[in-house]
Structure 1
Amino acid sequence: MSRRAHGPLFWRVYLHGVLLLLVVAVAVAGVGFALRRGSGWWSQRGAGRYAAERVGELAGDPPRLAAELERAREAFGVEASVYGPGGGLVATSVRDPAAAARADGRRRGWTVPLRGGGTLVVHSPPHDPARGLLFIGAVLAALAVASYPLTRAIVAPVERLTAAARALGAGDLAARANVRAHGELGELGRSFDEMAARLEALVRGERELLANVSHELRTPLARIRVALELAAEGDAARARRYLGEIGQDLAELDALIEDVLDAARLEARGAAALRNEGHPVDLAAVAEEAAERFRGAHEGRALELDAGSGLPLLRGDAVLLRRLLDNLLDNAAKYSEPPAPVRLSVRAEPDAAVVEVTDRGIGIPAEDLPRLFTPFFRTDRSRERGTGGTGLGLVLARRIAEAHGGSISVESAPGQGSTFRVRLPAPRE
Structure 2
Amino acid sequence: MSRLGRWARRWFGAWRASRLGTRLAFGLGALALVVFAIVGTVTVSFMNGYLGRRLDEQLKTSQVAQVPDLRSSHGNPQTIYSWYSAVFEVDKGVATPQPGGKLPSDAATLAKVAVDATRGDVFRTVYIDGAGIYRVRACPVATDQVDTGTVLLSAAPQADLDNTVRQLVLVEVIAFLIALAILVVAGRLVLRRGLRPLSDMAGTAHDIASHDLMATAALPVRASGEGGGAEVQELRTAFNLMLTHIESSLAARTAANERLRRFVADASHELRTPLTSIRGYADLFRYAAANEPEEREAHLSKIREETARMSVLVDDLLLLARLDAHDAEPPVRPERIDLADPARAAADAFRAGRPGRPLEIAVPAGPVEIDADPVRLRQVLDNLLANAAVHTPPGTAVSLALTVEDGQAVVRVSDAGPGIAAEDQRRIFDRFFRVDNSRTRSAGGTGLGLSVVQSLVVEHGGTVEVASEPGRTTFTVRLPLPS
Q: Residue 71 of structure 1 aligns with which residue?
A: none
CA distance in 2, matches of 1:335, 1:282: 29
Normalization by structure 2: what TM-score? 0.61
Q: Residue 376 of structure 1 aligns with which residue?
A: 432
Superposed CA RMSD: 4.2
User: Is the counterpart of residue 142 in structure 1 residue 189 in structure 2?
Assistant: yes
**Conserved 8 A contact 1:314-1:426:** yes
CA distance in 2, matches of 1:19, 1:291: 78
**Pairwise CA distance, 1:150:** 3.7
When residues 282 and 33 of structure 1 are mapped into structure 2, their CA distance, relative to the original with a 3 A threshold, is same
| Structure 2 unaligned blocks of 5 or more | 1-14, 52-79, 84-157, 224-235
Q: Residue 98 of structure 1 aligns with which residue?
A: none
SS in 1 for 2:262: helix
User: Is the counterpart of residue 350 in structure 1 residue 406 in structure 2?
Assistant: yes
Residue by residue, what CA displacement relative to the aligned partner does 1:302-334 show, whole Å, maximum 9, x if unpaired? 111111245542222110010011111111111
Aligned partner (choices 268, 276, 279) of residue 225 of structure 1: 279
**Conserved 8 A contact 2:408-2:479:** yes
When residues 359 and 143 of structure 1 are mapped into structure 2, their CA distance, relative to the original with a 3 A threshold, is same
**Conserved 8 A contact 2:21-2:195:** no
CA distance in 2, matches of 1:223, 1:267: 30
Aligned partner (choices 186, 192, 206) of residue 240 of structure 2: 186
Q: Residue 260 of structure 1 aligns with which residue?
A: 317
| Structure 1 unaligned blocks of 5 or more | 1-10, 48-84, 89-102, 111-120
Alignment coverage as a number of residue pairs? 351
**Conserved 8 A contact 1:307-1:347:** yes
CA distance in 2, matches of 1:308, 1:379: 34
When residues 256 and 125 of structure 1 are mapped into structure 2, their CA distance, relative to the original with a 3 A threshold, is same
Q: Residue 459 of structure 2 aligns with which residue?
A: 403
**Conserved 8 A contact 1:87-1:105:** no
Moved more, 390-399 or 146-155: 146-155
**Conserved 8 A contact 2:29-2:180:** no
CA distance in 1, matches of 2:193, 2:286: 86
Q: Residue 251 of structure 2 aligns with which residue?
A: 197
**Conserved 8 A contact 1:107-1:123:** no
CA distance in 1, matches of 2:274, 2:465: 33
SS in 1 for 2:325: helix
When residues 269 and 133 of structure 1 are mapped into structure 2, their CA distance, relative to the original with a 3 A threshold, is closer
**Pairwise CA distance, 1:337:** 1.9
**Conserved 8 A contact 2:282-2:303:** no
Q: Map 1:81-100; keep pairs closer than 5 Å.
A: 86=81
**Pairwise CA distance, 1:335:** 1.6
CA distance in 1, matches of 2:237, 2:24: 24
Aligned partner (choices 358, 368, 389) of residue 333 of structure 1: 389
Q: Map 1:25-44; keep pairs closer than 5 Å.
A: 25-31=29-35, 35=39
Normalization by structure 1: what TM-score? 0.68
**Pairwise CA distance, 1:201:** 2.9
SS in 1 for 2:447: coil
Aligned partner (choices 297, 306, 313) of residue 249 of structure 1: 306
SS in 2 for 1:362: coil
Moved more, 369-378 or 211-220: 211-220
**Pairwise CA distance, 1:218:** 2.4
SS in 2 for 1:363: coil
SS in 2 for 1:371: coil
Identity %: 30
